[in-house]
Amino acid sequence: MSELKEMSLGATRNRSRVVVKSISGGADVRNRLLAMGILPGRLLDVLVNQTYGPVVVSITGSRMVLGRGLANKVIVEEVDGAKGSASASW
């Protein structure tokens, strides 16, 4: 079993599945992400992530587009089809 590594959502690979571990940033950032359904423990499918521009993710079947700055505040771990982790935190 490979060791999981935390990274920002902006550092993930195209077509990867990740679980949100934490959010870095203030209340405004957290509230914005919460309104989008991005919260600790949630599974995200990364659809598009180039080295520049926005990151496109799928959350429970809905596509969301995050600017690179906002995506870099979302700390995630890559998973292989596993369910979300209960150990995630704000």
Please state the domain count of the chain: 1
29, part of any domain? yes
Distance CA 16, CA 38 (A): 16
Check if the beta carbon of residue 88 is closer than 8 Å to that of residue 38.
Answer: no
In a domain, 89, yes or no: no
pLDDT value at 88 more than 70? no
User: Containing domain of residue 75, as a range?
Assistant: 6-79
**Domain presence at residue 18:** yes
> Rounded to two decimals, what is the model's pTM?
0.83
CB atoms within 10 A of CB 37: 13
CB neighbours of 27 closer than 8 A, spacing ≥ 6? Answer: none
pLDDT in tens, 14-52: 999 999 999 999 999 999 999 999 999 999 999 999 989
Q: Is there a domain that residue 49 lies in?
A: yes
